[in-house]
Amino acid sequence: MTGACASFVPETPAQGAERQLSAQIARELDTPLPEPVLAFAAELRRRHGSAVSAVVFYGSCLRKRTTEGVLDFYVIVDDYRLAYRSRALALANALLPPNVLYHEWLHEGERLRAKYAVLSARDFPRLASPRRVDCRVWARFSQPAALAFVRDEQVRRLVVQVAVRSCLTLVARAASVLAGRGERRRFTSEELFLTGFRETYRAELRAERPETVQEVHDACADRYRAVAGLALRILAERGEFVLRQTPDGFETLTPAVRRWRAGLSWRVRRPLAKLLAIAGLLKTAFTFGDWVPYVIWKVERHTAVRLEVTERQRHHPLIFGWPVVWRVLRQGIYR
């Protein structure tokens, strides 16, 4: 698989920071993908019909250039009602987007597994906004992603715009909580993105070890350095702070009132985001399918904590699987 981190092209006088960031994101989205990933995207289009306008591949399999494990996709659709045969699934997607589903598929003798989120073209950009409590979309799309299918150029532009907005949202939110004295903050691009990743994982109840968060950054360190520089320039031009380049990173000067408001925003949003995450987890129990084995695999992979379940819990997760979820939450495995 070709690398997911597109090479960074230095700025020319004709390009502003926002235009250059869009070009960087567009190159990443055009990353060539292996045939099994493209085939799975076609399978997802078959499942959800002509309503599918884009299938975006992201996550650890893209980062590690492998099809082993569980593939991660976002499926963008025109309308939830057209994307499902079930009215209940369409309603659930509209009320608390996205729906997260799981699908296993046999392709040329190989069993492929995928977890995918379904979002409408209307909800997709809205959930990348810094005003949203739910951080899942902008947390994902601030990282590299690639198009496994896109219907036309208009949809391609939408995905680029959402990814750019996601990068700006993560950088702005992370910069607001970086440690420092007074109104001045000095930091590297690595410190900026690691802070952003840690905060979003905390808000999502996700089980990620510090070394895993570090691996996410290190897989595309040059990319994050480039994105940080461009995003900070854009935000400075919008009046978020005064920006200065330093030999090893950046320095921002943020008015005390704006910094206080940003800190308050994190403190208010974090518990609300966790409530949304719990609601989403409960909803996923009905949309995801065979979720108990998946939860066990995910927890063991990311925390090295082994969960023991009975055969009854495996075969009837909606009835008997809730003690597994309760143990995950009670022991702080997802936090």
H, E, C per residue of 285-325? HHHCCCHHHHHHHHHHHHHCCCCCCCHHHHHCHHHHCHHHH
The CATH number for 245's domain is 3.30.460.10
In a domain, 76, yes or no: yes
Give me the residue label for tokens 């078959």: 46
In a domain, 331, yes or no: no
- 243/233 Cα distance (integer angstroms): 7
Q: What are phi and psi of 126, to 5 degrees?
A: -65, -40
Strand 70-77 versus strand 110-120 pairing type: parallel
Residue 161, pLDDT score: 97
- 202/312 Cα distance (integer angstroms): 31
pLDDT in tens, the chain (335 residues): 556 786 655 554 435 999 999 999 999 999 999 999 999 999 999 999 999 999 999 999 999 999 988 999 999 999 999 999 999 999 999 999 999 998 989 999 998 999 999 999 999 999 999 888 888 999 999 999 999 999 999 999 999 999 999 999 999 999 988 866 667 889 999 999 999 999 888 877 665 678 889 999 999 999 999 999 999 999 999 988 999 999 999 999 887 777 767 677 777 777 787 788 778 777 776 777 666 666 666 666 656 666 666 666 555 555 555 676 666 656 555 44
Give me the residue label for tokens 């995910």: 298
Number of folded domains that form the chain: 1
Residue 13, pLDDT score: 41
* Residue 68 belongs to domain spanning: 17-289
In a domain, 301, yes or no: no
Residue 294, pLDDT score: 65
In a domain, 308, yes or no: no
Is residue 77 within 8 A of residue 83, CB to CB? The reply is yes
Residue 169, pLDDT score: 95
User: Which residues are 97's β-sheet partners?
Assistant: none
Is residue 102 within 8 A of residue 117, CB to CB? The reply is no
Q: Which amino acid would we find at residue 57?
A: F
Q: Where are the alpha helices (DSSP H) in 176-209?
A: 189-204
Q: Chain-centre distance of CA 145, in angstroms?
A: 9
Q: Which amino acid would we find at residue 164?
A: V
In a domain, 285, yes or no: yes
Quote the pTM value.
0.84
| Cβ contacts of 124 within 8 Å, gap of 6 or more | 74, 76, 137, 158, 162
User: Which residues are 104's β-sheet partners?
Assistant: 113
Per-residue burial over 198-234, b if 16 or more Cβ lie within 10 Å, else e, is ebbbbbbbbbbeeebbeebbebbeebbbbbbbbbbbb
Residue 12, pLDDT score: 47
In a domain, 8, yes or no: no
Residue 258, pLDDT score: 72
In a domain, 305, yes or no: no
Measured CA angle at 236 (ends 231, 239), to 5 deg:
135
Residue 145 tokens, joined: 């992603």
Give me the residue label for tokens 């009215």: 87
Edge to edge, the sheet with strand 242-246 lists 184-187, 249-253, 242-246
In a domain, 333, yes or no: no
Residue 183, pLDDT score: 78
39 CB burial (10 A radius; 0-12, 13-18, 19+): middle
